[in-house]
């Protein structure tokens, strides 16, 4: 049974945007607001009111948005020292932003009051109270972010509490304890939050940074101690080492601690949300991210896979589907028969395999991996391997030969690659030539041109990724090279692998598997349609 709801406060558009390599366009910010609203986030911090024209234009654009759940917050600071709140250059911008919620940060650590603000402790308390009171007079929901609170509390708990009490007395709807430097550890967060809850009668929030690698753990400990609002960012984006990762924190709270954050149907879109934000800021997803990473529910060791086959709970802490993820069985030299069987079933080839068939595939797999092949990211090549070992493979074409030329026509001219290929299809010879940005691109183009007349269905196949790994660099130019290719037809993506001392030969192997896999899948679809 779920206990009291936790309010989710997302600051990806403000704190997250302070991360190195992260930036949002105006249109991108609106897309993220809509996506966070659909996920069930309660508060979305839109940016720093008054700091730049882009954020103020964004707040204006938000006035036209009809959100189903989330409330938008504008972010700012307390008034400046020795300046009336209404005369401050930035505080009135919080009202101008037109958001129903305003979040302000203020100092609670004497070090910052003296060395940064260079004012008195009394004036700092007045700055907090005056700013909260001003915003409440303008009918805003107000949260006070107690900046550097845990450091301030450890330095002087009485003064840190006094700052919180000033905000509450002025009408703050909640006070948020911030571990701004990210140096506090979970046991400290728990003890201090408990102490604050006993001393201050207010709704408590938690805002943690990940400089010690404990941001999520710190937020969890704060919730255990009474906090009912958690602040963080999607995928943990933020300045320095980042903020508490809501993609990790939310399922930990809801699925582990039974603290309701979003609806179950929304939780099932968590991985999709994580990938959406990565794509929005053009950053690669974290393969090993808890809950949502591509490897989060992957199994490679033979004994593990055998256990998962019998009962997934043996090696999975939750059901992958609860967060929109899926189980992945990996095959490698560490595999046992269960890996091969489950992977084959996953790829549509394992339902009728005998134990001897499984052993044959496993032997072939281990032999190839000893030569440098890797099938973890090459499902299509593994599918072709099964076909070949079981003598069910159909060759859609035969290579008669190819030639690749790389030419540089002058010192400042770009290199030009040209590939000539000759293939035999159903007894017919086809020879074509294609140019490309590089030798592999040219070879890919020539192969497609040669096959298009016979197999027009390959027209929509494109190479989406090309990775090269030198397996034994000590051999220098004679080293074994592994090439991994990712291909897509717009609906499905698949990976293939090739290995050789010659990079072109390795790439050719991967290309052959890619094209044959596509043609094989098309034949399977035809057979299914006929059966219907």
**Greatest extent of the chain over all pairs of C-alpha atoms, in Å:** 92
Contact assessment for residue 182 and residue 240, using Cβ atoms and an 8 Å cutoff: yes
Q: Mean per-residue pLDDT for 152-173? A: 98
Q: Mean per-residue pLDDT for 293-301? A: 78
Are 12 and 141 found together in one domain?
yes
Q: Mean per-residue pLDDT for 197-216? A: 97
Q: Taking the alpha carbons of 271, 323, 244, 34 in that order, is the dihedral positive or negative?
A: positive
Are 146 and 235 found together in one domain?
yes
Beta-bridge mates of residue 44: 10, 72
Percent of the chain topping pLDDT 90: 58
Are 23 and 118 found together in one domain?
yes
Kindly state the DSSP code that residue 455 receives in the 8-state scheme.
-
Inform me whether the pLDDT recorded for 393 exceeds 80: no
| CA quadruple 253, 254, 260, 265: dihedral, nearest 10 | 140
- Indicate which CATH number applies to the domain containing 71: 3.20.20.70
Listed in sequence order, the residues at least 6 apart from 189 whose beta carbon sits closer than 8 Å to its beta carbon are: 150, 177, 179, 206, 208, 218, 221, 222, 225
Confirm whether pTM is higher than 0.75: no
- pLDDT number for residue 5: 93
Q: Mean per-residue pLDDT for 32-46? A: 96
Between 355 and 123, the more confident residue is 123
Contact assessment for residue 192 and residue 150, using Cβ atoms and an 8 Å cutoff: yes
Are 358 and 477 found together in one domain?
no
Beta-bridge mates of residue 498: 483
Between 160 and 346, the more confident residue is 160
Looking at the domain assignment, is residue 288 inside a domain? no
**Neighbour tally for 133: CB within 10 Å:** 17
**Neighbour tally for 180: CB within 10 Å:** 23
Contact assessment for residue 406 and residue 399, using Cβ atoms and an 8 Å cutoff: no
Looking at the domain assignment, is residue 388 inside a domain? no
Are 146 and 258 found together in one domain?
yes
Beta-bridge mates of residue 462: 488
CA nearest to 261, candidates 343, 322, 319: 322
Looking at the domain assignment, is residue 285 inside a domain? no
Are 103 and 231 found together in one domain?
yes
Looking at the domain assignment, is residue 392 inside a domain? no
Are 243 and 330 found together in one domain?
no
Q: How many whole angstroms separate alpha carbon 496 and alpha carbon 466?
A: 10
Instruction: List the alpha helices (DSSP H) in 67-170.
Output: 91-96, 110-112, 121-137, 149-155, 157-169
Inform me whether the pLDDT recorded for 463 exceeds 90: no
Which range scores top for mean pLDDT: 357-371, 373-387, 473-487, 517-531? 517-531
CA nearest to 175, candidates 106, 244, 127: 106
Q: Mean per-residue pLDDT for 27-39? A: 94
Q: Which residue is associated with the tokens 């450890």? A: 154
Inform me whether the pLDDT recorded for 391 exceeds 80: no
Scored b (16 or more CB within 10 A) or e, 421-431 reads bbbebeeeebe
Residue 192 pLDDT grade (very low, low, confident, very high; cuts 50, 70, 90): very high
Are 215 and 133 found together in one domain?
yes
- pLDDT number for residue 216: 98
Are 106 and 239 found together in one domain?
yes
Kindly state the DSSP code that residue 500 receives in the 8-state scheme.
E
- pLDDT number for residue 96: 94
Q: Which residue is associated with the tokens 């074509």? A: 432
- Given 219, 247, 280, the domain boundary residue is 280
Are 42 and 14 found together in one domain?
yes
| CA quadruple 59, 147, 215, 33: dihedral, nearest 10 | -10
- Given 247, 280, 313, the domain boundary residue is 280
Looking at the domain assignment, is residue 382 inside a domain? no
Contact assessment for residue 197 and residue 204, using Cβ atoms and an 8 Å cutoff: yes
C-alpha angle 329/332/334, rounded to 5°? 95
CA nearest to 121, candidates 131, 112, 133: 112
- Given 370, 390, 408, the domain boundary residue is 370
CA nearest to 58, candidates 91, 16, 96: 96
Contact assessment for residue 74 and residue 94, using Cβ atoms and an 8 Å cutoff: yes
- Report the relative pairing of strands 101-107 and 481-488 from DSSP bridges: unpaired
Structural domain range at position 350: 298-370
Query: How many domains is the chain built from?
Result: 3
Q: Mean per-residue pLDDT for 323-352? A: 59
Are 133 and 189 found together in one domain?
yes
Are 445 and 509 found together in one domain?
yes
Looking at the domain assignment, is residue 359 inside a domain? yes
338-371 pLDDT tens trace: 455 555 555 455 555 566 766 777 777 677 777 7
Q: Mean per-residue pLDDT for 103-118? A: 96
Which segment of 264-278, 340-354, 418-432 scores lowest on mean pLDDT?
340-354
Please provide the average confidence, as pLDDT, over all residues in the chain. Answer: 88
Q: Mean per-residue pLDDT for 463-476? A: 74
- Which tokens is 85 given? 């709140």
- pLDDT number for residue 311: 82
Inform me whether the pLDDT recorded for 388 exceeds 80: no
- pLDDT number for residue 337: 46
- Indicate which CATH number applies to the domain containing 430: 3.30.160.270
φ/ψ (deg, to 5) at 411: -55, -45
Contact assessment for residue 386 and residue 346, using Cβ atoms and an 8 Å cutoff: no
Looking at the domain assignment, is residue 384 inside a domain? no
Looking at the domain assignment, is residue 390 inside a domain? no
């Amino acid at each position: 049974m779920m206990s009291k709801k936790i309010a989710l406060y997302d600051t990806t558009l403000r704190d997250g945007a302070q991360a190195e390599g992260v930036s949002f366009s105006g249109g991108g910010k609106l897309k993220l607001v809509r996506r966070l609203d659909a996920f069930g986030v309660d508060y979305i911090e839109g940016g720093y009111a008054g700091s730049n024209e882009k954020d103020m234009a964004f707040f204006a654009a938000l006035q036209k948005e009809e959100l189903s759940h989330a409330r938008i917050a504008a972010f700012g600071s307390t008034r400046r020292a020795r300046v009336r709140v209404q005369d401050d250059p930035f505080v009135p911008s919080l009202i101008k932003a037109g958001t129903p919620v305003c979040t302000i940060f203020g100092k609670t650590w004497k070090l910052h009051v003296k060395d940064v603000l260079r004012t008195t402790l009394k004036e700092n308390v007045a700055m907090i109270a005056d700013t909260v009171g001003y915003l409440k007079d303008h009918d805003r929901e107000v949260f006070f972010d107690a900046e550097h609170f845990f450091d301030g509390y450890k330095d002087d708990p009485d003064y840190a509490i006094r700052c919180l009490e000033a905000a509450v007395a002025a009408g703050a709807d909640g006070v948020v304890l911030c571990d701004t430097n990210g140096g506090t550890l979970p046991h400290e967060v728990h003890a201090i939050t408990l102490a604050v809850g006993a001393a201050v009668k207010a709704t408590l929030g938690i805002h943690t940074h990940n400089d010690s690698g404990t941001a999520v753990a710190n937020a969890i400990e704060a919730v255990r101690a009474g906090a009912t609002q958690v602040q963080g960012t999607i995928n943990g984006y933020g300045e320095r080492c980042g903020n508490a990762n809501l993609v990790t924190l939310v399922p930990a709270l809801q699925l582990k601690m039974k603290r309701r954050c979003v609806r179950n149907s929304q939780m099932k879109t968590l991985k999709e949300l994580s990938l959406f934000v990565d794509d929005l800021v053009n950053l690669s997803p974290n393969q090993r991210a808890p809950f949502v990473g591509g490897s989060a529910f992957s199994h490679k060791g033979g004994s593990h896979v055998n256990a998962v086959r019998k009962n997934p709970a043996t090696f999975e802490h939750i059901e992958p589907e609860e967060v929109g993820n899926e189980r992945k069985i990996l095959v490698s030299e560490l595999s046992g028969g269960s890996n091969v069987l489950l992977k084959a079933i996953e790829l549509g080839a394992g339902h009728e395999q005998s134990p001897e068939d499984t052993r044959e595939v496993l032997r072939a797999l281990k032999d190839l991996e000893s030569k440098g092949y890797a099938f973890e990211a090459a499902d299509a090549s593994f599918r072709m391997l099964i076909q070949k070992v079981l003598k069910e493979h159909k060759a859609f074409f035969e290579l008669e030969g190819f030639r690749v030329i790389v030419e540089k026509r002058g010192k400042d001219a770009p290199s030009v690659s040209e590939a000539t290929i000759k293939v035999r299809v159903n007894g017919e010879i086809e020879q074509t030539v294609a140019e490309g940005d590089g030798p592999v691109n040219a070879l890919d183009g020539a192969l497609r041109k040669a096959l298009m007349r016979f197999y027009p269905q390959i027209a929509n196949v494109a190479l989406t990724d090309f990775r090269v790994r030198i397996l034994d660099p000590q051999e220098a130019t004679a080293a074994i090279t592994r090439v991994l290719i990712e291909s897509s037809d717009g609906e499905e993506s698949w990976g293939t692998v090739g290995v050789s001392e010659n990079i072109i030969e390795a790439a050719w192997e991967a290309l052959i598997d890619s094209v044959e896999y596509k043609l094989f899948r098309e034949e399977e679809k035809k057979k299914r349609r006929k059966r219907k």
